[in-house]
Amino acid sequence: MKRRISTLLATMLLAIFLCVPALAAGFDEAQLNFVTDEAGILSDQEWRSLETRAEEISLKYKCGVYIIVVDDFTDYVYDETVYEAAKTFYQEYSLGYGEEKSGELLLLSMEERDYTLIAYGYGNTAFTDYGKDKLADAFLDDFGDDEWYNGFSDYLEKSDSMLQSARAGHPLDVDSNPLIVLAGIGISLLVGCVAAFVVTVWLSDRLMKSVSAKTKADAYLTAGNVEITGREDHFTHTTETRTKIERDSGSGGTTVDSDGFSGKSGNF
């Protein structure tokens, strides 16, 4: 009888343990799920699917990937922007991976159809300013058609791709775009051609001056007929030509504020 009770108790404890959601390693301080839908725009099945995928990506790359949807962000912060609201959520609910609290968060506020993307810690490395633009392009078209599940799915898949590139040492940035690289090469070639043309014209002008009419009589004397006992040259001036080389000012990277966050905001 005693053994039977012990076995039953162990079974009950195991069942209770399995029913309690396990905290993902590295995210044990977080007080929110990876996907939080306070506005109720997702079905239970859609939420579970997105939550599972977001957790997989976050654990794989050790960088939290979050989604929060609210009716109106001003219900949570007073007289602030949607960007500041997202920062408040991130900090107050201890989001992010590890000691650096690395991660990114997509916040949607349905009242005025506001959105913001913020990043922190390693998220600033993986999601550059240019990268956030490309990430937003992946989901804004879906949100514009009220396709919430598709938009969030595209957000997660694009985040997965960008984190994979970043962990490989190649964050998505300005120099990742082949069109921009080709444009830079084209501008460099154009500047080089213009500089070469200017120098060629200048040299041609100098050479033509050497065959122009002489201003001194001794230039027309035949060697051996006249003995010149003295010569005197006078320096008058010199001519210098300079060509300005334009350089591309777009250096890429991530703009981080004083709180350590970077972000991009807009409407959908």
Domain segments of the chain as ranges? 22-173, 178-209
pLDDT at 260 over 70: yes
Pick from 84-88, 165-169, 224-228: least confident: 224-228
pLDDT of 25: 72
Over residues 23-59, the pLDDT tens digits come to 567 898 999 999 999 999 999 999 999 999 999 999 9
Residue 208: its pLDDT value, please? 54
> pLDDT (tens digit, 9 = 90+) per residue, 127-158?
999 999 999 999 999 999 999 999 999 999 99
Q: What is the pLDDT of residue 86?
A: 98
| % the chain with pLDDT above 70 | 63
pLDDT at residue 252 in the model: 87
Residues 6+ apart with CB under 8 A from 143: 108, 113, 115, 151, 268
pLDDT higher at 2 or 10: 10
Distance CA 145, CA 142 (A): 5
Distance in angstroms (rounded) separating the CA atoms of residues 117 and 87: 10
Give the pLDDT score at 209. 55
Contacts of 53 (CB under 8 A, 6+ apart): 153, 156
Highest CATH level, class, for 22-173: alpha beta
Cβ atoms of 65 and 57 within 8 Å: the answer is: yes
Q: What percent of the chain has pLDDT over 90?
A: 60
Given a cut of 50, whether residue 72 has pLDDT beyond it is yes
Q: What is the pLDDT, as a whole number, of residue 2?
A: 32
On the CB side of 66, CA atoms within 13 Å amount to: 34
Sorted by sequence, the CB contacts under 8 Å of residue 252 that are 6+ apart come out as 128, 129, 130, 173, 174, 175
